[in-house]
Amino acid sequence: MRIIALSNRQAVSRLIDRRQETDPAIARRVARIVAAVRRSGDPAVLRYARRFDQLTAPAEVSRDEIQAGLRAIDPSLRAALRTSATHIRRIARRQIPRAWRTAVVPGVEIEQRVSPLDRVGCYVPAGRYPLPSSLLMTAIPAQVAGVPEIIVACPRPDPTVLAAAAIANVTRLFRLGGAQAIAALAYGTDTVPKVDKIVGPGSAYVAAAKALVATDCPIDFYAGPTEIVLVATRGNPTWIAADLIAQAEHDPDARGIVITTDRALAERVIEQVKARMPATGPTRQSLRQHGVIVVTSTLAEAITLANQIAPEHLVCDREDVAQASTRAGTVFVGPYGAQAAGDYATGSNHVLPTGGAARFRGGLSASDFVHVHSVQRLTKTGLATLAPTILSIAEAEGLKGHAESVRVRLRRVRAARNATPRT
């Protein structure tokens, strides 16, 4: 890690402007894979699965295998996964948009309807470690939202992932990964059903594939390298270093940033990182290449920079900092707000926007799995009441047909009124 001053504009600019651009070589390979799957379906999917993931078993995991995975894991882990699932469900229930109806003026009523998507695809990575937590975090909010079919793709589902699939009660689970799995979910094959939305983190190939199919099948968001920002005015340097190391072990491209007004604290954090960092491996690579401590003159400067970075995870030691931090995927407050707690146990979703996307959205939630639309009801009284507004704006825009579509109705109303015998 290194320490920089806020006045180092070039270095600070790199922290803020981190475009999530796909490697052109990866983009070309992914485009070929997606096109082949879209064109050929199962044969292409299986060919790539055998080539990249050494698939030898059937592509679909049976229900008996899923239940066997649940029985095979240690009882304490089984209990932990169930607890995590309970907390995720509790939070997800609060995230679903509400249906409502309201009258705008007499004779004009607007209704909001909320209905679940029909089928969603959840991608679960299987890189260096199994990630049952990612299955819970993607499948359970969809289940809570009422989605009837939840399809999971994971290239190498071990017993922990199978157990999570059982606990989340997923509909189907496939031993498929990479760009070929994303393409199969987006376009459908004889074996893999086409879904209405794809969610979940993954490799650079998965991210590129999601970006490519997004025009045909909605996705949650483009997922780049994971990142953490800690705004610390005081605190335990050992704990801060531990948070940085925890985030760095995800990926050699993971980013760890501390923003502080206390240079002495920054130096103590550096010492603790050096003392605790592994001698080799992705954690060391991440912190050496992407670990930065920015020293600011004031707390206001620190908060402004954190909002400009718009990180995936923000950890801060003060409530006032949390209140002022409006651009983050999720915010942890206080010395015991370990980011790892959110990964596994708090119930708040750990599938979060990266690369500055937290400027405009938060993490995955049950609201991502529903369709919200409006229903508009107008009576003749209601249309007549709105007519002056409609006609004035339509004529100002030069859309005479719009105005006439209202006038023709009003003429009928007037004709019917004039035809009524007077007594």
Q: What are the residue numbers of the active site? A: 312-313
Contact between 231 and 315 under an 8 Å Cβ cutoff? The reply is yes
Contact between 64 and 213 under an 8 Å Cβ cutoff? The reply is no
Q: Which two tokens stand for residue 15?
A: 């922290």
Count other Cβ atoms within 10 Å, centred on residue 7. 10
Q: 255-293 burial by CB neighbour count: b if 16+ within 10 A, else e?
A: bbbbbbbeeebbebbbebbeeebeeeebbbbbbeebbbb
Contact between 387 and 406 under an 8 Å Cβ cutoff? The reply is yes
Coil, strand or helix at 224? coil
Q: How far apart are CA 84 and CA 53, in angstroms?
A: 29
Which residues have CB under 8 Å from 192's CB, separation 6+? 42, 45, 59, 151, 153, 174, 176, 184, 185
Q: Which two tokens stand for residue 31?
A: 């485009």
Sign of CA dihedral 240, 245, 246, 251: positive
Coil, strand or helix at 175? coil
Sign of CA dihedral 35, 40, 46, 47: negative
Coil, strand or helix at 117? coil
Q: How far apart are CA 327 and CA 314, in angstroms?
A: 9
